[in-house]
Amino acid sequence: MLINPLATTEREDPRITRTRNLLIEALNELMGEKSFESITVSEIAERATLNRATFYAHFQDKFSLLEYSIRSLVRTQLHAELSADPGLTEMIEKMLRVVCGLLEGYEKHCPAPRGQMQALSEKQIKDEIYTLLLQRLETSKPNRPQQASVQQTAMVTSWAIYGAAFQWSQQSKRQPVAELVRQVLPLITANLQAYLPIKPEPLASPRRAAAGRAPSGLLSYNLRLHPQFL
């Protein structure tokens, strides 16, 4: 597995990858110890055994670094989960599960306050979901004329997915993810009925709930990149 799934250039100077990985690891370590807001660039550089100026040669600020780190985690997890190219309903279900796992991971391993971090990860996660959904909707034609554009549909859906996962993560006593899926999936897929094959999913289906997979194993991807999630 590539340690840097975001790399676009063919091959980059090994010093660069080394430095970036050191910075990401340093940030991940620190985020297990204290809140993101209280972490300074100086600390990150020191922990990475790098000069502070070197940090700025790679990232604009600590937010850029976190963004980069989160993005690679999200992308890896989503692609791994969706590589089987499942049906639209299953796709959304899997997305919901992945996002729940990510939010749970952050809450478990990163000391509060998490305000800035949440806002940042939210954007990265939604962007990835939106892109994947858009690709999917663009390939499958709707079986009846649609008022809304594909972009609108994908956007509303991706936000709805994240909103559901967020609501779940905010619960004081968290319900099983399978239950969340059973309750919320109809809400979300109601938007997409024109894109669903043949017979649209009924709003309440006991068989769906029974078929829900256990949410284990969600956090097992990309371990080298994000060891704090263990």
List residues binding DNA (CB under 7 A).
11, 13-16, 18-19, 40-43, 49-54, 56-58, 60-62
Q: Give the number of other Cβ atoms within 10 Å of residue 134's Cβ.
A: 17
Size of residue set near a second copy by CB under 8 A? 32
Q: Is 149 in the site for a second copy (CB under 8 A)?
A: yes
Cα(124)–Cα(128) distance, integer angstroms: 6
Out of 9, 83, 139, 147, the residue judged to bind a second copy by CB under 8 A = 147
- Rounded to a whole number of angstroms, the minimum distance from the CB of residue 48 to DNA is 8
**Residue 207: contacted member of DNA, a second copy, none (CB under 5 to 8 Å, by partner type):** none
Q: Is 187 in the site for a second copy (CB under 8 A)?
A: yes
Residue 184's H or E segment, with its range, is helix 177-189
All residues at 6 or more sequence positions from 118 whose CB lies less than 8 Å from its CB, including other chains: 106
Q: Is 182 in the site for a second copy (CB under 8 A)?
A: yes
Which of 85, 104, 98 is CA-nearest to residue 125?
98
Backbone conformation region of residue 222, classed left if phi is above 0, alpha if psi is from -120 to 50, else beta:
left
Out of 188, 218, 219, 225, the residue judged to bind a second copy by CB under 8 A = 188
Q: Which is nearer to a second copy, 58 or 166 (CB)?
A: 166
Q: Which is nearer to a second copy, 168 or 221 (CB)?
A: 168
**Residue 156: contacted member of DNA, a second copy, none (CB under 5 to 8 Å, by partner type):** a second copy
Backbone conformation region of residue 212, classed left if phi is above 0, alpha if psi is from -120 to 50, else beta:
beta
**Residue 18: contacted member of a second copy, DNA, none (CB under 5 to 8 Å, by partner type):** DNA
Backbone conformation region of residue 49, classed left if phi is above 0, alpha if psi is from -120 to 50, else beta:
left
Cα distances (Å, whole numbers) of residue 30 to 10, 22, 125: 31, 12, 22
Cα(65)–Cα(55) distance, integer angstroms: 9
Q: Is 191 in the site for a second copy (CB under 8 A)?
A: yes
Q: Is 169 in the site for a second copy (CB under 8 A)?
A: no
Question: Which residues of this protein are in contact with a second copy, per CB under 8 A?
Answer: 119-120, 122-123, 145, 147-149, 151-153, 155-156, 158-160, 162-164, 166-167, 182-184, 186-188, 190-191, 193, 203-204
